[in-house]
Every structure is written in C-alpha cells, then in structure tokens.
C-alpha cells in the first residue's frame, strides 16, 4: 500500500477495525485518479512481494471480494500478493529520497541469495481491515518475513509511512461506512482454510499512474532448501 491510499496519515494506515479500542471510526474512501504530486513524472514503483498463485487461495479471495463488492472498488489488473518490502521509485539514479536506483536492487539481490532459506507456508487469519482497505492478515510465526526484511533493509531504507503489517489486500473502499458495519460484514466471513505457500520472492514494479495496474516481475528469486538462513 503506497502513500496515495492512506489519506496522508501514516498512523491511520496501521489502524485496524479489529481493534475495538483504537480502530478507525469509519472507512476512508480511495480517490481513483493520477497522483502527479506523488510520482512527479516517475513512471514505475518497485516492491518486493510474493504473488498469490495457489488456485484455492485465489478462489477464496475472489469469493470474499464478491461478498464485499458493494463496499470496494473493482480490483482491476493488480494480482493478489503479499508485499514484503517497499523499495520506491524504480529510477536509474537516486535524486529524491524515495528513488530506488539499480545498485540498491543489486545489493538486495546479493543479500537475499546469501540466505533466503527453504520454501515455507505462512498462516492466514480471518479478514480484517484498515481504514482504507480490507485485507487478509498473514502470520509470520517463524520470522521468515522479518528475516527477508532485515536483509533487504541492509541495502536500502524502506519507503513506508506506517508500521509493516503483513497482509493480502482485498480491495480499497469506495464508500464511507461505519466501523460497526465493517466489523459485522467481516465477522461473517470465515478464515481461509489454507496457508499461503511461498516458493519465490519477486521484485516487481507497477505503473505509478494506475492504482490497479498489473505488477511486472523483474526478478524471481526461488527459495531453496540449500539457501541457509543467515
């Protein structure tokens, strides 16, 4: 989730409706438009992510999106995924603080290749929601995500307005809805019956002018049992 989808409030971005004491009072409506004040003419934005490619999980995501279709913007071409690390604008050199030049990407690739560890599965919980978006929470009981993020952070500071919360986005809100309504709607949806299997990490970019445009994978890094965690 990038800063366009947080209404400029990093603290709001991390608030969840499941928090009965400190959660949002209502949803934030996502404005679908180009954000030139954000990208300033830069065309691609880069993230490390894990695409969802399991048929059963994709079916579950599709079903939940249909149940919440009256609340969410259509998902467009952006495939379901778990963001691991937000890199910044995919630029040939670093001019602004949020630019991500090739040398930093190469450093991250080298760090990950030194110790990604074996393929793994991460547990999924019942759907929850930020003020701006509904999502599926992703657990990290063995610290695999934390390990990859530490490696990536050695080469580049993450571009992030709020604390990292592992999740698969279900959709952005198109209506302003009271918190109690969101809790009731989400409370009627069962948790996924399957975990999220991870066999690869992808470095991908998307078109900054399209909020729901597809992710293009530039690098696919397979996890291997021989890649010892370090």
56: enclosing H helix or E strand: helix 55-67
Q: Which of 26, 27, 37 is nearest to 4 (CA)?
A: 37
For residue 35 the two structure tokens come to 């954000």
Q: Which domains are seen in the chain, by residue range?
A: 3-31+43-222 (3.90.1140.10)
pLDDT score at 227: 55
Give 7: exposed, middle or buried? Use CB within 10 Å, 0-12, 13-18, 19+: middle
Report the distance separating Cα 60 and Cα 64, nearest Å. Answer: 6
Beta-bridged to residue 203, according to DSSP, are: 48, 219
What is the residue-averaged pLDDT of the chain? 90
Cα atoms in the 13 Å half-sphere on the side-chain side of 166: 20
| pLDDT tens digits, 199-217 | 999 999 999 988 888 999 9
pLDDT score at 207: 94
Rounded to 10 deg, the angle between the 144-153 and 102-113 helix axes is 140
Residue, of 117 and 34, whose pLDDT is higher: 117
- Give the DSSP letter of residue 22: T
The DSSP bridge pattern shows strands 81-90 and 99-100 to be parallel
Report the distance separating Cα 196 and Cα 174, nearest Å. Answer: 27
Report the distance separating Cα 132 and Cα 211, nearest Å. Answer: 13
Report the distance separating Cα 117 and Cα 169, nearest Å. Answer: 25
pLDDT score at 226: 64
Helix (H, G, I), strand (E, B) or coil at 14: helix
| pLDDT tens digits, 125-171 | 999 999 999 999 999 999 999 999 999 999 999 998 889 999 999 99
The DSSP bridge pattern shows strands 44-51 and 81-90 to be antiparallel
Q: Are 58 and 144 in contact (CB under 8 A)?
A: no
Q: What is the pTM of this model?
A: 0.91
Helix (H, G, I), strand (E, B) or coil at 63: helix
Report the distance separating Cα 227 and Cα 225, nearest Å. Answer: 5
Report the distance separating Cα 145 and Cα 155, nearest Å. Answer: 16
| pLDDT tens digits, 135-145 | 999 999 999 99
For residue 103 the two structure tokens come to 């040398």
Q: Tell me: pLDDT of 2 over 60.
A: no
């Amino acid at each position: 989730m990038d800063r366009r989808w947080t209404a400029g409030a990093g603290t709001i971005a991390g608030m969840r409706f499941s928090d009965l004491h400190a959660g949002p009072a209502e949803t934030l409506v996502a404005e679908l438009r180009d954000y030139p004040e954000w990208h300033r003419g830069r065309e691609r934005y880069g993230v490390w992510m894990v695409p969802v490619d399991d048929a059963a999980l994709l079916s579950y995501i599709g079903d939940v999106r249909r149940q919440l279709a009256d609340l969410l913007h259509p998902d467009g071409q952006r495939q379901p995924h778990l963001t691991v690390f937000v890199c910044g604008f995919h630029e040939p050199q670093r001019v602004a603080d949020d630019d991500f030049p090739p040398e930093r990407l190469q450093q991250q690739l080298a760090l990950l290749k030194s110790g990604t560890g074996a393929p793994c599965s991460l547990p999924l919980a019942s759907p929850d929601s930020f003020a701006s978006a509904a999502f599926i929470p992703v657990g990290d009981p063995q610290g695999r995500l934390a390990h990859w993020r530490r490696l990536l952070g050695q080469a580049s500071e993450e571009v992030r307005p709020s604390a990292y919360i592992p999740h698969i986005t279900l959709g952005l809100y198109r209506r302003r809805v009271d918190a109690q309504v969101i809790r009731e709607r989400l409370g009627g949806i069962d948790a996924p019956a399957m975990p999220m299997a991870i066999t690869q990490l992808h470095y991908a970019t998307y078109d900054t002018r399209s909020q729901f445009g597809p992710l293009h994978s530039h690098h696919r890094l397979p996890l291997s049992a021989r890649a010892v965690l370090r």
